Amino acid sequence: MTDITLDNVTKRFEDVTAVDSLDLEIDDGEFLVLVGPSGCGKSTTLRMLAGLESVTEGDVLASGEAITDLEPKNRNVAMVFQNYALYPHMSAKRNMTFGMKSAGEYTDEEIEDRVAEAAAILDIEDLLERKPKALSGGERQRVAIGRALVRDPDYLLMDEPLSNLDAKLRIQMRAELSELHDELETTTIYVTHDQTEAMTLGDRVAVMNAGELQQVARPQELYDYPANRFVAEFIGSPAMNTLPVDVREDGDGYVAIGDGVDVRLPETDGLADLEGDRLLLGVRPEDLHADAATADTSIQATVSVTEPLGDTTLIHGEVAGTFAKFKVGARSSLRQGDVVEFGADLDRLHLFDDETGATLYHSDRSLETAEQPLSQ
Ligand code: ATP
């Protein structure tokens, strides 16, 4: 039973601050995903948790005990890497158990039992005598996960473990990892740059950018109530549209007005304070509907490219010079240059500060609303 705390953790490599004052608490048994673009500090954070990288400032705690300066071998941690890191000359079983005997912590019988248990969970019982070159990518990754499981770690670290697999296998392994975690409930910290993987796997998702934590929340919370423009655009595919607007009072309430944009804003706290500021209206492609403009909601777009996706058509377009994406029905007849009036779901709107990117408004919830704790 292990919870993990990162307390104001900073990692500097000479003049690069890879991780900047990171505060994060991972509950016992939680599956936390660290996600962000390349170079945002995810792997460095994981390596500090493993003890493979020193911490410049701050503390790492496991169940309340500082482990900041402990060697990896003195932390009961296991790590699964993107490249599997299996010894090519050893069988799958030997890869899984290598070093356990010499560590003297386990008897031969215990090791056998643990291998049998992990192999059954991962469905690799028939592969144990094979060497890595006789295994597929997915099977190799199962063996690498098996090696982590036999050690019964207090916490499990995974660094992009599915990136080397093809798309179909990745989706299958993603589901298997979820199932495995439900079964074992080992505290897990999982790094990926893939927002879909983050959303589907994480109990909570921590979004990082340029060494800084942007937001940590449950997947749906991140999607529905991003804390800033970065999170809004990073989580979700295609990304949320952000269109330049001003907020004005028109006698009936507030409207967001910009070139090609005229949208009535449901009133939640703080809207009056935004009058006159340079803002971005955030609206997701699926919350915009072609030919559904009304007096209350109208976004005028010109089509640049149409991408038929089978079940829908993705439209790349422009709203008065600002790039935007829309989804319309399958077999759409829209063509380049067509002008479309979109209506927006009024309870799915956001406003961001144009300069800082901070979220200033959600149309269906006050910014003050606190997220429920994970345990509820
Ligand atoms: P990726 O998804 O590409 O692996 P990441 O989010 O995991 O990226 P990190 O590998 O943690 O990012 O790197 C964060 C920053 O720290 C980057 O700017 C990187 O160049 C820098 N960095 C990482 N390791 C070192 C090192 N050993 N020496 C100097 N700079 C480093």
Q: Which two tokens stand for residue 303?
A: 């089509």
Q: Which ligand 1 atom lies nearest to the CA of residue 36?
A: 6
**Full DSSP string of 180-227:** HHHHH--EEEEEES-HHHHHHH-SEEEEEETTEEEEEE-HHHHHHS-S
pLDDT values of the chain reduced to their tens digit, one per residue, 376 residues:
799 999 999 999 999 999 999 999 999 999 999 999 999 999 999 999 999 999 999 999 999 999 999 999 889 899 988 888 899 999 999 999 987 877 777 888 988 998 998 898 888 999 999 999 999 888 898 899 888 888 889 999 999 988 888 888 888 888 888 888 888 889 999 999 999 999 999 999 999 999 999 999 999 999 999 999 999 999 999 999 999 999 999 999 999 999 999 999 998 877 888 998 999 999 999 999 998 889 999 999 999 999 999 999 999 999 999 999 999 999 999 999 999 999 999 999 999 999 999 999 999 998 877 554 444 3
47 Cβ below 6 A of ligand 1: no
How far does the centroid of ligand 1 lie from the alpha carbon of residue 8, in Å? Answer: 19
Mutate to test the pocket of ligand 1, among 14, 15, 16 (most ligand atoms within 8 A of CB): 16
DSSP type of residue 330: T
35 Cβ below 6 A of ligand 1: no
How far does the centroid of ligand 1 lie from the alpha carbon of residue 136, in Å? Answer: 29
Mutate to test the pocket of ligand 1, among 14, 33, 40, 209 (most ligand atoms within 8 A of CB): 40
Length of the chain: 376
**Full DSSP string of 38-84:** TTSSHHHHHHHHHTSS--SEEEEEETTEE-TT--GGGS-EEEE-TT-
Q: Catalogue all structural domains in the chain, each as residue range(s) with its CATH number.
A: 4-229 (3.40.50.300), 238-370 (2.40.50.140)
Q: Compute how many other C-beta atoms are within 10 angstroms of the C-beta atom of residue 107.
A: 10
Report the predicted TM-score, pTM, of the whole model to 2 decimal places.
Answer: 0.91
How far does the centroid of ligand 1 lie from the alpha carbon of residue 119, in Å? Answer: 34
Q: How far apart are CA 125 and CA 115, in angstroms?
A: 9
User: Which residue lies with its CA nearest to atom 30 of ligand 1?
Assistant: 13
User: Which residue lies with its CA nearest to atom 7 of ligand 1?
Assistant: 43
How far does the centroid of ligand 1 lie from the alpha carbon of residue 47, in Å? Answer: 11
How far does the centroid of ligand 1 lie from the alpha carbon of residue 38, in Å? Answer: 8
